[in-house]
């Protein structure tokens, strides 16, 4: 009789523990979705929600990993958050973010494309400057001496490529005023501690950017915005916060 009762108690304890775990998972999922929504509206608020609810550990390393791997995040807001120069947490997360991006054995242009695919470049020159600075540092760590031993050389070249990208693919710049190959090479003279980089390297970068734009990563918010712009006549605002939350939730279900 006693053994039978013990078996029943164990059975009920197992059932209750299973229910508790299911409830915990559901709550964690709700906190994740709400945290993503908050992040896409105001990154610092989203990060605070995610860390205080236990979705993400409150360390720069774990926050950076979440920004790189989390589903449903706005790439624009990722770029804004990790380049907020006024906030020590953002700078610490940026440092960890770069440590988790591997450029080993990647050619320069491919490495820059890979980096920019992880976020959306902010519109402020100071923030872009910071991103190119940390990109150059990380590229040199992963590929010592591949192009130059000077980190400043990689930084200047990266910034030069961003300018080239804008110049070649901005429809507002007329064709006859776009930067040609010789101008690009001229702009990069002496950037390697007074020496020139190999011409074939610069030619390859120029032709690569001319053929295929270096495009920041795209996310579901870009999809919403493109649909919103394509609708003619009276239309609903697809960028309303509740619609963005719904789309984010649905996207997370799809990628599971």
Token digits of residue 223: 């999809």
Q: How far apart are CA 39 and CA 66, in angstroms?
A: 12
For residue 37, give the nearest of 73, 86, 80, 85 by alpha carbon. Answer: 73
Q: How far apart are CA 152 and CA 244, in angstroms?
A: 41
- Residue in the block written with tokens 């609708």: 231
- Residue in the block written with tokens 């996207």: 251
Half-sphere exposure of 61 toward its Cβ, with a 13 Å CA cutoff?
Answer: 0
Q: Could you list the active site residues?
A: 124
First to last CA, the chain: 47
């Amino acid at each position: 009789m006693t053994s039978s009762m013990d078996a029943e108690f164990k059975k009920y304890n197992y059932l209750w523990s299973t229910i508790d775990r299911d409830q915990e998972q559901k709550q964690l999922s709700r906190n994740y979705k709400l945290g993503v929504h908050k992040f896409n509206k105001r990154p610092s608020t989203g990060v605070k929600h995610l860390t205080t609810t236990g979705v993400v550990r409150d360390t720069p390393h774990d926050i950076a990993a979440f920004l790189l791997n989390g589903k449903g995040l706005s790439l624009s807001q990722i770029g804004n958050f990790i380049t907020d120069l006024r906030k020590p947490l953002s700078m610490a997360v940026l440092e960890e973010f770069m440590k988790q991006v591997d450029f080993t054995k990647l050619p320069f242009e491919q490495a820059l494309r890979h980096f920019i695919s992880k976020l959306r470049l902010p519109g402020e020159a100071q923030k872009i400057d910071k991103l190119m600075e940390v990109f150059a540092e990380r590229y040199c760590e992963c590929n010592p001496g591949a192009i130059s031993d000077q980190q400043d050389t990689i930084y200047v070249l990266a910034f030069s490529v961003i300018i080239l990208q804008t110049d070649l693919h901005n429809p507002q710049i007329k064709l006859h005023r776009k930067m040609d190959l010789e101008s690009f090479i001229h702009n990069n003279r002496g950037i390697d501690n007074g020496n020139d980089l190999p011409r074939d390297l610069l030619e390859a970068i120029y032709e690569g950017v001319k053929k295929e734009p270096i495009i920041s990563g795209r996310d579901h918010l870009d999809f919403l915005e493109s649909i919103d712009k394509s609708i003619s006549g009276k239309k609903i605002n697809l960028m309303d916060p509740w619609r963005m939350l719904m789309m984010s939730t649905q996207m997370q279900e799809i990628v599971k």
